[in-house]
Amino acid sequence: MHQQHELEDAMRRALQLAGNGPAEGVNPRVGCVILSPAGDILAEGWHRGAGTCHAEVDALAHLDADAARGTTAVVTLEPCNHTGRTGPCALALIEAGVAHVVYAVADPGPHSSGGADRLRAAGVDVTGGVLADEAQAFLADWLVSARLGRPHVTVKWASSLDGRAAAADGSSRWITGPAARQDVHERRAAADAILVGTGTALADDSALTARAADGTLLARQPRPVVVGRRPVPAGAAVHRHPLTPWFLPGHDLTALLHELHGRGIRRVFVEGGPTLASAFVRAGLVDEYLVYLAPTLLGGDRLALGDIGVTGITEQRRLRIGQLLRLGDDLLLVAQPAGAEGPGADQTDHIDQTTRAIPAALNQTN
């Protein structure tokens, strides 16, 4: 039997391997390490995207016949138990003669879960939860997508210390400094799509691209999505984005997210002004908050958030601070809903089913 530290070391390596897989699309990034009874790494594998071998099968393919018998497979996600474009990984491990399977996070998919039970029924020793926190952080966007059938939603805003997103005349460039702005661009690049309302698209005329400090485009770009009914002129900057923008009229945020999920969007970056941000908060559809705070005071009524459905202190939306970062003179708070027990945990206690609709004010300038 392997020591705990050996399994954790192998799991960290499996997480590294998982990072080689594509960050976009509907499939998770998964890594697998095959250990000999003595603890040596015999094979490694990872999932390269839809239609390709899953990580476990990829690792097994590097071994000769019967070489996996009696080994331990360390995999970042519970082996799947369904047949899609490829067969069930649980069955592949059983047929290869793997004696022990270690995984970090259970598969939440209604059609793909159950691999651990199938392995145990076949006499395979199964251990779950090894480096679960690290794996959940790595798979956060996919776990939300798999559990809820919608993309992981990050809402971002920048504000003064007194919570204002703009001065009284509406001007907002620039509240934060260059280090904070560059951090935003790098986080944009990590998303599959960036959402703004039509009011913000018209007022700011942003290209919604992810750029380096010198203004050049980063290698990976988010899909620009403009939400609302007001037409965006053909000459608007968003039309010059490397990816064709999507214009979605949507009234219902849940339906909007399900549509994006159906188009292969797994991580959404909401940067579209107070109206759109407030609508997502009010609907209880935010998985992560990015709040950039500048050491300045603006006063006035240009708040970073508007009505989020809180009428009394007992209805406040409590958050859990995950990170507090210094970016030049500015601060970045990374937070999650306090009621969320992990990626994709449904915040139903905070959701008013009547407030999921995008307000008509979205079409106004934010």
Could you read off the pLDDT of 59-103 as tens digits, one per residue?
999 999 889 999 999 999 999 987 766 678 999 999 999 999 999
Spatial CA neighbour of 44 closest among 71, 25, 66, 26: 71
* 77-106: burial string, b at 16+ Cβ within 10 Å, e else: bbbbbbeeebebbbbbbbebebebbbbbbb
Q: Which residues contact 115 (CB under 8 A, 6 or more apart)?
A: 78, 79, 80, 81, 88, 89, 90, 107
* CATH number of the domain encompassing residue 262: 3.40.430.10
Lowest mean pLDDT among 110-114, 130-134, 145-149: 110-114
Residue 297 falls inside a structural domain: yes
Verify that 159 and 110 share a domain, yes or no. Answer: no
**Residue 361 pLDDT > 60:** no
Q: pLDDT, tens digit, for every residue of 44-60?
A: 999 988 778 899 999 99
Same domain for 238 and 188: yes
Shared domain for 102 and 129, answered yes or no, is yes
The enclosing domain of 109 has a CATH number of 3.40.140.10
Mean pLDDT of 23-47: 90
Domain span holding position 229: 148-363
How many other CB atoms are there within 10 angstroms of residue 292's CB atom? 22
Domain boundary among 138, 166, 198: 138
Is residue 143 included in any domain, yes or no? Answer: no
- Based on the fold, state whether residues 74 and 176 are members of the same structural domain: no
Do 309 and 181 belong to one domain?
Answer: yes
Q: Based on the structure, what is the number of domains in the chain?
A: 2
Residues 64 and 186 in one domain: no
pLDDT bin (cut points 50, 70, 90) of residue 111 is low
Residues 46 and 125 in one domain: yes
Active-site option among 24, 56, 78, 288:
56
Q: Domain check: are 109 and 60 in the same one? A: yes
* Residue 235 maps to a domain: yes
Instruction: List the structure tokens of 85.
Output: 């474009």
Pick from 107, 138, 169: which residue ends a domain?
138
pLDDT the model gives residue 174: 83
Is 32 a residue whose pLDDT tops 90?
yes
360: confidence class by pLDDT, cuts 50, 70, 90: very low
Instruction: Specify whether 59 is located in the same domain as 203.
Output: no
Whether 186 is a known active-site residue: answer: no
Please check whether residue 91 lies inside any domain of the structure. yes
Q: Are residues 253 and 330 in the same domain?
A: yes
pTM above 0.85, yes or no: no
C-alpha closest to that of 333 among 178, 157, 147, 196: 157
